[in-house]
């Protein structure tokens, strides 16, 4: 039974969805601010929060864990050297989502997801 196993699917199969979320997380961590839809922002937020929490203590284990989830050495280096020390004393809640209106064309709600 699948009780309480709900996950945001974003109308995609598992492989493309994971690739989308990994790419969006890389963009947010590199640029510290990205414009996207509300559903994607809700889906990628836990991934970003987990990566920053892992990157707060720089170690080889943290580097390998981040490389496994982000698959980009440049982003991992930024998380370990810049973002992690910045949020070392913060207990959580590293991202902010701000609604900016609806997208022209399909009317999807757009947000800006950024690091606090």
Domain boundaries, the chain: 35-115
Length, in residues, of the chain: 116
Provide block-wise average pLDDT over 10 residues at a time, the chain (116 residues). Answer: 83 94 97 96 96 96 96 96 95 96 95 97
* pLDDT of res. 6: 79
Span between the terminal Cα atoms of the chain, in Å: 39
Q: Give the strand order in the sheet containing 33-37.
A: 33-37, 109-115, 95-102
* pLDDT of res. 4: 84
* pLDDT of res. 7: 78
* pLDDT of res. 94: 97
Which CATH class name applies to 35-115? Answer: alpha beta
The CA-atom distances, in angstroms, between 86 and each of 22, 31, 44, 90 are 22, 15, 21, 9
**pTM exceeding 0.75:** yes
């Amino acid at each position: 039974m699948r009780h309480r196993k709900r996950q945001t699917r974003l109308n995609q199969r598992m492989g493309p969805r994971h690739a989308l979320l990994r790419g969006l997380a890389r963009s947010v961590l590199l640029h510290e601010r990205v414009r996207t839809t509300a559903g994607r922002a809700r889906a990628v937020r836990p991934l970003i929060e987990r990566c920053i929490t892992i990157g707060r203590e720089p170690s080889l284990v943290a580097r390998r864990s981040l490389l496994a989830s982000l698959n980009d050495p440049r982003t991992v280096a930024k998380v370990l050297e810049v973002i992690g020390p910045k949020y070392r004393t913060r207990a959580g809640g590293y991202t902010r989502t701000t609604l900016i209106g609806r997208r022209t064309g399909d009317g999807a709600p757009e947000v800006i997801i950024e690091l606090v």
